Structure 1
Amino acid sequence: MGETLLSGLLRSGHPVDGLVITERRADRAAELTEKYGVRVLDNAEAAALADTLLLVVKPQDMGALLAEIHDEVAEDNLVVSLAAGITTTFLESRLPAGRAVVRVMPNTPALVDQGMAAVSAGSHCSPAQLQQAQTLLAATGKVVDVPEKLQDAVTAISGSGPAYIFYVVEAMIEAGVVLGMPRTTATELVVQTLFGAATMIKETGQHPTVLREQVTSPGGTTAAALRTLDDHKVRAAFITAMEAAARRSAELAGD
């Protein structure tokens, strides 16, 4: 996700000399420098230099990172965290008093500038600083402002959401193969169907139920398939799965 944001900012016209990154692995740092021409510093140096700090680490590594940069975060800095489950309260408690923080849950379609990021402001973040964070994230897709109490639900729906879609796509492709279709043909059919269906939802503004009913003729093939899905409680399984993801997101804050 760190490289995704970096490449998105550069594609959106952000000057490379206005960016610095950190990277623990020397070989990876050299790769990023060669690819993007960006400077690589250590964590404390980067924190001391930057006005806006984007923290893109695993949740279990956040505490150590905050301890490392604590003394370098200035009063007018903005700290933006993209770590799942890490609350603004956690961030604020490990930074100097009064520092502005923003919690973000992005997702991987940001890699193709079609990401969905949800942002929540901490207690010391001004509207202007929240807008600043939104503008940065808009380089890789859409951004929505949500109350922080909804961030675990956001994680379950859009943060983890691409994996659910890929899971369904895998199953549909396998079904095509089982039915005698070449895998490449099945893949093309499924991917374009997914793209077309998503575009219909977005551009028509109609509820998915209405669009589904338009495809479902009484006693037809679609009705037979949907009945089978209902018999296997697929809808309930999806809801239960997302509830599990939301619970795990909440647990990460305490791990």
Structure 2
Amino acid sequence: MKLKTVFIGAGSMAEALIAGALQSGALKADHTYVTNKANDARLRQLADEFGVQTGYEAGAAVRDADLVVLAMKPKDAEAGLLSIQPFIQENSVIVSLLAGVSLDFIEETIGKPCAIIRSMPNTSAAVRKSATAIALNRFVTEEQHAAAIHLFSAIGTAITVDESKMDAVTAVSGSGPAYFYYVAEAIQQAGEDLGLDHDTTKELLMQTLLGAASMFSKHDGQAAALRKAITSPGGTTEAAVRTFDEFRVKQAIEAGVKEAAVQSKRLGNAYIR
């Protein structure tokens, strides 16, 4: 099935979803239209790279779309929604990528009883490894729900949660890739400080990350058990973990993830009427 899909916004998350969905076949370039406020260079880049349709005639595109993907910045949500509101049909399906913007806010701004799906993917969508959670409003049918799961499963894994859990999802998986990059950055720097050249450190670290992810997936996510299995008394891993504990690294990471959830809630509060 070729879904006519319109992206309102052309930022990094829109690009990641487009790249992954086109690669998997969930979307087709000639049935995908992308628009933004005024950045011609960005639209040309996406058209050249992916072969999608671009322009500023969003009204007609939205009217004929099967899926309308909200990919603008959250601060532009209200203005963006109002600009397309006259063209939304009651059979339209709206998929929101907007962090913190509630289903109620979108529904009230549009003012029409249409299906709305709030999602929280991450930028690993570009390599079809996103972890995506979705929440549904009351107008989403089983068929539309299945179509959304199919779309997001094409770029990784997809689960359905109650909307009340979306702040936690944002903190764990929406922002999650950045946490791993942050840790990888520190390990990479330490390796180079210890005398390894950049390329050697990068190759060793990439395979280590891939291997750890694979082990994690095969052992039911038992991170603590996996760590303990390679932490021999008096060994090198124990020395590193002891130092991490002295600096309270685990507590700092836990606090950071929880603060991300709080920030998601703060952002969402701006969209409560």
Q: TM-score, normalised by structure 2?
A: 0.88
Task: Determine the C-alpha separation between the residues in 1 that align with 2:220 and 2:262.
Answer: 31
| Aligned pairs for 1:6-155 within 5 A | 6-13=18-25, 14-23=27-36, 24-42=38-56, 43-155=58-170
How far is the alpha carbon of 1:248 from its aligned partner? 0.8
**What are structure 1's unaligned runs of at least 5 residues?**
none
* Moved beyond 4 Å, runs of 4+: none
Task: Determine the C-alpha separation between the residues in 1 that align with 2:84 and 2:136.
Answer: 20
SS at match of 1:94: helix
Task: Determine the C-alpha separation between the residues in 1 that align with 2:134 and 2:52.
Answer: 26
Aligned 8 A contact 1:121 1:148 in 2: yes
**What are structure 2's unaligned runs of at least 5 residues?**
1-12
Q: TM-score, normalised by structure 1?
A: 0.94
How far is the alpha carbon of 1:26 from its aligned partner? 1.8
- Alignment pair present for 1:194 and 2:209: yes
Percent identity of paired positions between Structure 1 and Structure 2? 38
| Aligned pairs for 1:173-184 within 5 A | 173-184=188-199
SS at match of 2:95: strand
Aligned amino acid, residue 69 of structure 1: I
How far is the alpha carbon of 1:203 from its aligned partner? 2.3
Aligned 8 A contact 1:118 1:145 in 2: yes
- Cα gap change, 1:180/1:82 in structure 2, threshold over 3 Å: closer, same or farther? same
RMSD of equivalent CA atoms = 1.5
How far is the alpha carbon of 1:206 from its aligned partner? 5.7
* Range that drifts further, 146-155 or 186-195: 186-195
Task: Determine the C-alpha separation between the residues in 2 that align with 1:108 and 1:4.
Answer: 6
Aligned amino acid, residue 164 of structure 1: Y
- Cα gap change, 1:218/1:130 in structure 2, threshold over 3 Å: closer, same or farther? same
SS at match of 1:235: helix
- How many equivalent pairs are there? 255
- Cα gap change, 1:64/1:233 in structure 2, threshold over 3 Å: closer, same or farther? same
Aligned 8 A contact 2:16 2:124 in 1: no
How far is the alpha carbon of 1:96 from its aligned partner? 2.5
Task: State which of 2, 13, 17 in structure 2 corresponds to 1:5.
Answer: 17
Task: Determine the C-alpha separation between the residues in 1 that align with 2:32 and 2:191.
Answer: 46
Task: Determine the C-alpha separation between the residues in 2 that align with 1:243 and 1:205.
Answer: 23
Aligned 8 A contact 1:22 1:46 in 2: no
Aligned 8 A contact 2:133 2:160 in 1: yes
Q: What CA deviation, in whole Å up to 9, does each residue of 1:21-74 have, x standing for no partner? A: 213312222232233332224332321121211111111011101100111110
